[in-house]
Structure 1
Amino acid sequence: MNNKATWTYNIKGIRTPGVSQMLVHENLVFIAVHYAKAGFYEGKLLCLSLNTGELQWEFVTDHVINSKVSVSGDQVYLAAFDGHVYGLNLADGQLRWKFHTGKNMFSSPAVVGDKLICCETHTGNFTYCLDRHSGQKIWELKTGVAVASSPLVYKDLIFHGSNSPLFFAIDLNTGIEKWRYEADGYFAGSPNLLGDQVITGCLNGSVYVFEPFTGQIVTQFQTGGAIYRKPIIENKHIFIGNEAGVFSSLTTSGQSISVDWTYQVPEIISTNACIANGQVLFGSADGHVYCLDKEDGALIDKKNMKSIVRDIMLTDEFFLIGADKGQLSAFERES
């Protein structure tokens, strides 16, 4: 990892700002910041130039923004703790529409064709399907549980966990629940695809692999610590970190999962993994980004960001790091 940032954007004039996950779209990078203001909370969505870090526009909400945005066509989609889902102009951040759920939103919205899928978080009850162009509700499903997990859509099915022991599969077109699985821990993290199967982590420390149409468990594996992060998949390899500070490289084979290697850090793993050039990178609450050899887990390098690392992302040219204290830095990728 290069030591000198190509550019760094620091939030100024705000005390102890926190940042959300980021999204890169073409030559733009989106990241939200949340902060206390006069005893209350506000959030800002920032749109920055990927090449220079220059602010292009910002959008302010009445409460915390803690999710990643989605982009489709000429619109940006955002969910916030003020109980609204927003549709914004990509070009200038102007509001096109907003949909009021009445409950806090933490889960990141997902775009599927002309549909936008979003879930209520705190004391929430509903998963929603909206028309992404207008924000009009197409259907809602009362799940009865709060959802922090961001939805995954695969073959007309929506998959998400919840702030409860329940994991759901929902029909994309009708909003009818297809199946649910109940574990002995919360499914707060977001799912991913493992080939044609669905994989997710659980706060009981296990990684679960589901057959998507029946909900039958294909296999599961215990990592030894609560999992909030999305499993990252490369071929048959799974890369996942947990709250015990253990980062694992796992391999799937049929109905079994085996350990390739593990790496221990002092505090929780606070980001998803990124993989490039035979290396795997992740951030930790100890303020460091770790770079490991993908094959054997040996430490190659680590970078001190001096605050909790909230997200990391690789583009063709940059390695982006978002950290608390309102900091977003872009480092030129090494060839």
Structure 2
Amino acid sequence: MKFFQILIFCSFFVLETSAQPWTIFRGNQQLTGATSASIPEKPKLLTSYQTGDDIKATPVVDGQTIFCGSTDGTMYAIGFDGKLKWKFASGNSIEAPALVMDGSVLFGQLDGLFYRLDEKTGKEIWKYKTDNQIMGSANWLKVAGKVRLFVGSYDYNLHCFGFDKGDSIWRYESDNYINGAPALYGKYAVFGGCDGFLHLVNVETGKVFKKIHLETYIASSPVIEGKFAYVGDYEGKFFGIDLEAGKIAWIYHEKDKNLPFIASPALSGNFIVIGNQDKFIYCFDKSNGKVVWKVKTSNRVESSSVIASGKVITGTMDGMLYIHDLKTGAELWKYELGSPIVGSPAVISGKIVVGAGDGRIYIFG
């Protein structure tokens, strides 16, 4: 067992199939928010790191380093010992999760700038400018052998630019703000906007393939599995969407509750899990949208849950961090941080990393 643990903590890339590194918001390009990594039965707070202001971004992890932005405008690289490796001042608040790939840390901030930094040193490689704030993570795909990056902005555009030089390749204009991250469905970037549509945009051409009307604001990011996307909206509706047919397959909606789904869903097996501002965590059957279970938490849920080996990890706006059983919704553990949790947890083998409104990055294990 000791030898296995050493392998886990020293060789994330070797073990990628069984316990992926958490290098992108929601863990992968389809934004499923799920991992096969195991977590302790009763996690303990190991250490924390204090930044200069509150944290709304979701941390990401590569190897032995945690990367997370703060509203103090700084991107931090922190070890699991809670010690700073480097920091980079971006000039404005960072609320978007970072993306780590090919030795680089990539992220946007509220001035509309998107940065590529060297992962080891934090030195700037290039920056790309949009015309309004960036709130969501980037995604990526190789096109004709070259990595392209995709990120939404409050300038209404989904931007596509090159990884190597940060050069603009195309822009796709929606009809309102883009708040969440795009998910990938084959060669299409899929995202919801404040225009009330789910957009499918061809990543090679930047041309829209389909627009599916979902009625109102979509503040969060969709999850993709097979030909289906799942996402919630600002009026408390949650949708299962057939991307191939271009239509809604099912809708969940309690008419006496119209509070927003700010969080993004997590998907594992037949279960979709998402928290709502009504204080409940919902688990849906992905095939028909029926509620498998729902549990009331201590406060509003804006943080996106993560599913790790049959356990659901969720933060709340009063600073509670919960673990529930995926199949039953039974509460297995909770911990009071005492400060709002807006960003999602990052989960790798044996560790949970989460930021909070007190400006701290907390490491559990």
User: Please, what TM-score do these two structures have when normalized by structure 1?
Assistant: 0.81
Q: Could you tell me how far 1:317 is from its partner in structure 2?
A: 3.9
Structure 1 residue 209 displacement after superposition:
0.5
Task: Tell me how far apart the structure 1 counterparts of residues 279 and 54 of structure 2 sit (CA, whole Å).
Answer: 22
Which secondary structure does the structure 1 equivalent of 2:246 belong to?
strand
Q: Which amino acid aligns with 2:186?
A: G
Report the Cα distance in structure 1 between the residues aligned to 2:106 and 2:150, rounded to whole angstroms. 11
Tell me the equivalent position of 1:219.
210
Paired letter, 1:53: P
Residue 186 to residue 28, structure 1, CA distance change in 2 (3 Å): closer
Shift of 1:289: 1.1
The aligned counterpart of 1:315 is 308
Question: Residue 225 of structure 1: SS of its match in structure 2?
Answer: coil
In 2: Cα distance, 1:182 partner to 1:334 partner: 40
2:95 to 103, 106, 131: 106
Query: 188, 191, 198: which one pairs with 1:207?
Result: 198
The yes-or-no answer on 1:171 pairing with 2:158 is no
The one of the two structures with greater contact order (alpha-carbon pairs below 8 A, sep at least 6) is 2
Equivalent position amino acid for 2:84 in 1 = L
Q: Deviations over 1:165-202 (max 9, x none)?
A: 12100101110011112222111111110122111111
1:190–1:228 contact (8 Å) kept in structure 2:
no
2:292 is equivalent to residue 292 of structure 1: no
Structure 1 alignment gaps of length 5 or more: 1-24, 30-48
Superposition map of 1:12-27 within 5 A: none
**Contact 1:311–1:323 (8 Å) recurs in 2:** no
Match of 1:150 in 2: 137
Matched to 2:234, the amino acid is E
Residue 27 (structure 1) shift: 11
Contact kept, 8 Å, 1:117 with 1:130, in 2: the verdict is yes
Mark the CA change 1:333 to 1:298 in structure 2 (over 3 Å): closer, same or farther: closer
CA deviation after TM superposition for structure 1 residue 50, in Å: 4.1
Contact kept, 8 Å, 1:211 with 1:217, in 2: the verdict is yes
**Native 8 Å contact 2:193 2:217 kept in 1:** yes
What do residues 194-237 of structure 1 show as CA deviations (whole Å, max 9, x unaligned)? 12211111101101011102101011101011011111011001
Deviations 1:101-121, CA, capped at 9 Å, x for gaps? 111111111001101101112
Give how far 1:306 is off. 2.9
How far apart are the structure 1 equivalents of 2:293 and 2:112?
A: 44
Partner of 1:84: 74
Structure 2 Cα separation of the partners of residues 77 and 270 of structure 1:
23
Q: For the Cα contact (< 8 Å) 1:239–1:250, is it kept in 2?
A: yes
Per the alignment, residue 52 of structure 1 pairs with 42
Q: Which amino acid aligns with 2:149?
A: I
Shift of 1:293: 2.1
Report Cα offsets for 1:278-335 as digits up to 9, x if no partner: 2322111000111222222222221001311122111114221211211011123449
| Residue number among 320, 344, 348 corresponding to 1:327 in the alignment | 320
> Contact 2:274–2:305 at 8 Å: present in 1 too?
yes
Other-structure match for 2:226: 235
Is the Cα–Cα contact under 8 Å of residues 280 and 295 in structure 2 kept in the other structure? yes
Listed as ranges, the gaps of 5+ residues in structure 2 are 1-17, 23-38, 329-365
Check conservation: 2:202, 2:209, Cα contact below 8 A. Answer: yes
CA-to-aligned-CA distance 1:108-141 (integer Å, 9 cap, x gap) = 11001101101112xx041110001100011111
> In the alignment, which residue of structure 1 is the partner of 2:104?
115
- Among the aligned pairs, what percent are the same residue? 23
By percentage of residues, which structure has more strand?
1
Cα distance change, pair 51–113 in 1 and its aligned pair in 2 (3 A): farther
